[in-house]
Amino acid sequence: MRRLTAVVMALTVVALGCSGEDDSGSAGGALSSSRRDGTASTSSTTVAPPAPRSTVVIAHRGASAYAPEHTFASYDLALEQGADYIEQDLQMTADGQLVVLHDPILDRTARGPADACTGPVASKTLAQLSACDVGSWFNEAHPDRADPAFAQLRIPTLREVLERYAGRARFYIETKSPEAQPGMEQALLDVLDEVGPPADGTSAAGERSVIIQSFSAESLRLVHSLRPELPLVLLLVTSGEPLDPAILDGVGDYAVGVGPSSGNVDEALVDAAHSQCLDVHPYTVDDPAEMTRLIAAGVDGLFTNAPDVLRPLVAALPGGRDACG
Ligand code: G3P
Ligand code: CA
């Protein structure tokens, strides 16, 4: 009821043209904790309670609705559109380097010499992958959004992403299929130790400079054992209906949140997660009506390919939970 009242109040405020919050949506704004502190102006006799935190905007593979996924172009645009986090999916090369690419097989998004740019990433060296263009596929698939410059885009390493956006982005990094890529977790921690932002913040996932996500609880448990200060989010496999809150049991032992498929999320799941101090970050939502439903249900963040669609909704609709003990 508190959340519903807050949503109605926020919509009323927006309708009056006075949001009263800094929702500039810039990456710099996202990195400031003050936007979520929510302390209202005071009169001589009244101090308003803290507002609920905003729902964080997680750019899924960057602003991948508009630019080739997991490229500097998609990350640059995501930050321009006000994303709080940019997402990285990890693959590991034959010579043990972490690159940012969703698929374990190159063929969908890579173009270039067949010996270097087709087949499993795990069979290629980083030097081979440097010959691959990961933008032309997007121009072929989306001629309405094509840009000749996209053909120059290359597969970035995790290190390159962390270095390029240091101090101006938050990172949401997935250990992808880690059971098939032994050593991925240690390689990730090595890169973070060298060039990543330090782990920071409170118990809330939405206030961290870096979050590690995985569908593999085993992978997250390993990371937790090695770096207990890192915030972790367990991704939940898509099912046909709202999830049984029992799926959350034990997750809080190592993670600060869960990432369910958006269609499996209802208010009961969100409330159950919040009662265990777990944040809820559903994936992947581009439809504004579905975004609105999930924000009203109280989710703490959303993965989206279109940060420009989500950002104004977050500005209008407070979501998430208050600080959790
Ligand atoms: O990591 C959240 C979401 O991205 C999971 O799905 O396949 O896009 O990595 P996928
Ligand atoms: Ca992902």
According to the model, what pLDDT value does residue 44 have? 42
According to the model, what pLDDT value does residue 135 have? 98
Task: Assign 3-class secondary structure to 218-241.
Answer: HHHHHHHHHCCCCCEEEECCCCCC
According to the model, what pLDDT value does residue 166 have? 95
According to the model, what pLDDT value does residue 281 have? 98
According to the model, what pLDDT value does residue 124 have? 98
Report the nearest-CA residue for atom 1 of ligand 1. Answer: 174
* CA 71 / ligand 2 centre spacing (Å): 14
Evaluate: CB of 213 within 6 angstroms of ligand 1.
Answer: yes
Evaluate: CB of 235 within 6 angstroms of ligand 1.
Answer: yes
pTM given for the model: 0.85
Cβ burial, residue 321 (10 Å; 0-12/13-18/19+): buried
Six token digits for residue 104: 């374990």
- Ligand 1 pocket mutation pick from 86, 87, 173, 235 by most atoms within 8 angstroms of CB: 235
Evaluate: CB of 303 within 6 angstroms of ligand 1.
Answer: yes
Question: How far apart, in whole angstroms, are the C-alpha atoms of residue 265 and residue 281?
Answer: 10
| Ordered alpha helix ranges (H), 81-234 | 114-117, 126-129, 136-141, 158-164, 184-195, 217-226
Question: How far apart, in whole angstroms, are the C-alpha atoms of residue 175 and residue 150?
Answer: 26
Residues in contact with 172: Cβ distance below 8 Å, sequence separation at least 6, in sequence order? 58, 85, 86, 87, 88, 210, 211, 213, 233
Check if 60 is active-site.
yes
Question: How far apart, in whole angstroms, are the C-alpha atoms of residue 74 and residue 156?
Answer: 12
According to the model, what pLDDT value does residue 53 have? 74
According to the model, what pLDDT value does residue 325 have? 62
User: Please, what is the Cα angle at 199 between 196 and 200, to 5 degrees?
Assistant: 130
Residues in contact with 226: Cβ distance below 8 Å, sequence separation at least 6, in sequence order? 185, 186, 189
Locus of tokens 């921690």: 189
Residues of the chain with pLDDT under 50: 1-45, 202-203
